[in-house]
């Protein structure tokens, strides 16, 4: 599932020892494997090859410029949800025409930026947004393409914070209103309807909701076709799983086995399919490396207090998400053969693996059976490449972690660790000038 493995009892990313990275770059630090990243892009491309999809990597999952460059270099477009993400995609060498732009709150300046850059497709989330895009496009004299994000009201069976395709969420236009809206606005010269966009949630481990959502989207496309309104694009969004534990996620082929038969004949008849994978590409490609600052036995609990917690990786405290955690140099014979919730091995000690912040919710993993750790040990938090660094924050004035990209036997710092100067640089009141975005 990835290129993080133990060689002679020491954790390596590809050919580089994680301890070597920690010694030279410090911790906390995100470490990414280029080979894993590209392998997951390849798997998605090959599983969905019969649909010849336009693969747009979801920038929000792992927005570092070097990561985006690697993915753009492999031929992918980008799924962006803000002006900032569009800027990153372009700076990484991905043309705006290869980007799709979703998000429920696109501002007028962001819409203008995207239009001037020549955005490939707006994934439009509401009637009011459509009117705004069309009017900004008219003012600038730059027509654009749009896909209507519909809310198909299916249950993706995932965390309620990341379920986006059920009716009560803020995303897309209710399927029951979509046909009438598309009929009413079809023919707009400034935002030309090209298709339908779906993104029902993340992660989705049971492919069935894709079947339900796609079937509903195809009925809508057929209903409109009967009225002479031709839509040639279906954007399926993201949502494929990743292996937080060994073998947890269906493979790209398992999703394709459900999706490809639904769409193959349509593609042969001219339908363009877009995929927006984020987690399935980036999650297994990254680990967060932290150091144990102190250990503490409180009688009934043993704590490993690390140099980062919910500031560097929010997922455990925000979603109760599980990330496998293990020392980079465990005692002899204590190398895990699989990553699982309850490792079976003699001599493990149950730890609460926590961060330094002043909240009880600041943890990386609770009640984890791992080898006993000591001050100075390093721990790897696996499957942290997606929504790890991108959701990191500076709570308790914690500088953001460094990021490193490994390629074979070498590595490169792709984001410098923040300094205390960085922390205060935007707050030097006397020196501040008003800048318009
Ligand atoms: N397309 C759209 C419109 C999205 O909103 C998302 C993710 C994706 C694609 C990519 O989905 P993926 O392939 O990564 O599942 N912070 C949460 C995940 C939030 C996902 C938001 N949207 C987490 O840490 O689990």
State pLDDT tens for residues 228-257: 999 999 999 999 999 999 999 999 999 999
Mean pLDDT of 416-436: 86
Strand 144-151 to 99-101 pairing: unpaired
Per-residue pLDDT of 78-115, as tens digits, reads 999 999 999 999 999 999 999 999 999 999 999 999 99
Q: CA nearest 311: which of 19, 28, 24?
A: 28
How high does pLDDT run on average in the chain? Answer: 96
Specify the pLDDT at position 91.
Answer: 98
Atom of ligand 1 nearest to the CA of 276: 9
Is 99 noted as a catalytic residue in this protein? no
Rounded to 10 degrees, the C-alpha dihedral 369/373/376/379 comes to: -20
Per-residue pLDDT of 188-233, as tens digits, reads 999 999 999 999 999 999 999 999 999 999 999 999 999 999 999 9
- Which pLDDT band holds residue 436 (cuts at 50, 70, 90)? low
- Going from the Cα of 237 to the center of ligand 1, the distance in angstroms, rounded, reads 9
Bridge partner residues of 305 (DSSP):
294, 354
- Angle at Cα 90 formed by Cα 76 and Cα 416, nearest 5°? 100
The DSSP string of 254-312 is HHHHHHHHHHHHHHHTT-EEEE--SHHHHGGGEEEEEEEEEEEE-SS-EEEEES-STTT
Asked whether 156 and 240 are in contact (CB, 8 A), the reply is no
Rounded to whole angstroms, the Cα distance separating 198 from 217 reads: 8
- Which pLDDT band holds residue 411 (cuts at 50, 70, 90)? very high
Which of 67, 164, 202 for a ligand 1 pocket mutation test, highest count of atoms within 8 Å of Cβ? Answer: 202
From the list 13, 29, 99, 358, the catalytic residue is 358
Specify the pLDDT at position 435.
Answer: 62
* Residue with token string 């496998």: 324
- Which pLDDT band holds residue 168 (cuts at 50, 70, 90)? confident
Per-residue pLDDT of 351-371, as tens digits, reads 999 999 999 999 999 999 999
Rounded to whole angstroms, the Cα distance separating 337 from 344 reads: 10
Q: CA nearest 309: which of 239, 401, 387, 238?
A: 401
- Angle at Cα 399 formed by Cα 393 and Cα 402, nearest 5°? 95
- Going from the Cα of 391 to the center of ligand 1, the distance in angstroms, rounded, reads 12
Strand 325-327 to 191-197 pairing: unpaired
Model confidence, pTM: 0.97
Mean pLDDT of 316-324: 97
Asked whether 290 and 28 are in contact (CB, 8 A), the reply is yes
Atom of ligand 1 nearest to the CA of 279: 14
Identical fold, 4-31+283-425 and 34-279: no
**CATH number for the domain whose boundaries are 34-279:** 3.20.20.10
Asked whether 235 and 197 are in contact (CB, 8 A), the reply is yes
Q: Cβ < 6 Å from ligand 1: which residues?
A: 58, 60-61, 79, 102, 162, 199, 202-203, 237-240, 276-280, 315, 319, 386-387, 391
Chosen CATH of 4-31+283-425 out of 2.60.40.10, 2.60.120.860, 2.40.160.20, 2.40.37.10 = 2.40.37.10
Q: What are phi and psi of 21, to 5 degrees?
A: -65, -45
User: What is the rounded end-to-end Cα distance, in angstroms, of the chain?
Assistant: 40
Q: Where are the domains of the chain?
A: 4-31+283-425, 34-279
Helix (H, G, I), strand (E, B) or coil at 116: helix
**pLDDT of 309 higher than 70:** yes
Q: CA nearest 382: which of 436, 343, 434, 412?
A: 343
**pLDDT of 284 higher than 60:** yes
- Going from the Cα of 266 to the center of ligand 1, the distance in angstroms, rounded, reads 26
C-alpha distances in angstroms, 258 versus 215, 325, 379?
11, 33, 38
Helix (H) or strand (E) holding 176: helix 175-185
Rounded to whole angstroms, the Cα distance separating 381 from 284 reads: 11
- Going from the Cα of 280 to the center of ligand 1, the distance in angstroms, rounded, reads 10
Which of 71, 164, 279, 389 for a ligand 1 pocket mutation test, highest count of atoms within 8 Å of Cβ? Answer: 279
343 burial (CB, 10 Å; 0-12 / 13-18 / 19+) is middle
């Amino acid at each position: 599932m990835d290129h993080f493995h133990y060689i002679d009892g020491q954790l390596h990313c590809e050919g580089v020892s994680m301890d070597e990275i920690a010694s030279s770059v410090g911790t906390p630090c995100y470490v990414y494997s280029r080979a894993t990243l590209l392998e997951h892009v390849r798997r998605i491309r090959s599983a969905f090859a019969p649909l010849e999809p336009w693969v747009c990597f979801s920038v929000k999952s792992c927005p570092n410029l070097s990561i985006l460059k690697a993915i753009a270099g492999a031929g992918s477009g980008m799924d962006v949800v803000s002006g900032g993400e569009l800027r990153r995609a372009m700076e990484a060498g991905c043309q705006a025409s290869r980007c799709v732009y979703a998000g429920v709150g696109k501002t007028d300046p962001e819409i203008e930026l995207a239009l001037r850059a020549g955005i490939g497709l707006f994934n439009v989330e509401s009637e009011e947004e459509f009117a705004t895009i069309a009017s900004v496009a008219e003012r600038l004299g730059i027509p654009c393409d749009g896909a209507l994000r519909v809310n198909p009201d299916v249950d993706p069976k995932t965390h309620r914070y990341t379920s986006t395709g059920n009716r009560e969420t803020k995303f897309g236009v209710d399927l029951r209103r979509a046909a009438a809206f598309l009929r009413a606005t079809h023919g707009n010269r400034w935002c030309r309807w090209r298709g339908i966009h779906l993104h029902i949630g993340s992660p989705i481990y049971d492919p069935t909701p894709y079947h339900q959502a796609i079937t509903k989207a195809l009925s809508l496309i057929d209903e409109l076709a009967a009225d002479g309104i031709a839509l040639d694009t279906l954007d399926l969004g993201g949502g494929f799983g990743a292996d937080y534990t060994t073998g947890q996620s269906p493979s790209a082929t398992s999703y394709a086995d459900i999706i490809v038969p639904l769409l193959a004949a349509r593609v042969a008849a001219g339908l363009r399919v877009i995929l927006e994978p984020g987690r399935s590409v980036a999650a297994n490609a990254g680990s967060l490396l932290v150091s144990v600052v102190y250990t503490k036995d409180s009688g009934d609990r043993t704590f490993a207090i690390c140099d980062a917690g919910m500031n560097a990786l929010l997922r455990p405290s925000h979603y109760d998400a599980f990330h496998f955690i293990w020392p980079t140099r465990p005692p002899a014979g204590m190398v895990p053969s699989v990553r699982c919730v309850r490792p079976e091995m003699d001599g493990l000690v149950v730890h609460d693996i926590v961060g330094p912040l002043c909240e009880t919710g600041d943890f990386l993993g609770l009640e984890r059976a791992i080898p006993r750790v000591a001050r100075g040990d390093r721990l790897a938090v696996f499957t942290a490449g997606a929504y790890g660094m991108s959701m990191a924050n500076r709570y308790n004035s914690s500088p953001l972690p460094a990021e490193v990209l490994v390629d074979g036997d070498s590595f490169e710092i792709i984001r410098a660790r923040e300094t205390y100067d960085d922390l205060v640089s935007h707050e030097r009141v006397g020196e501040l000038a008003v800048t318009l975005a």
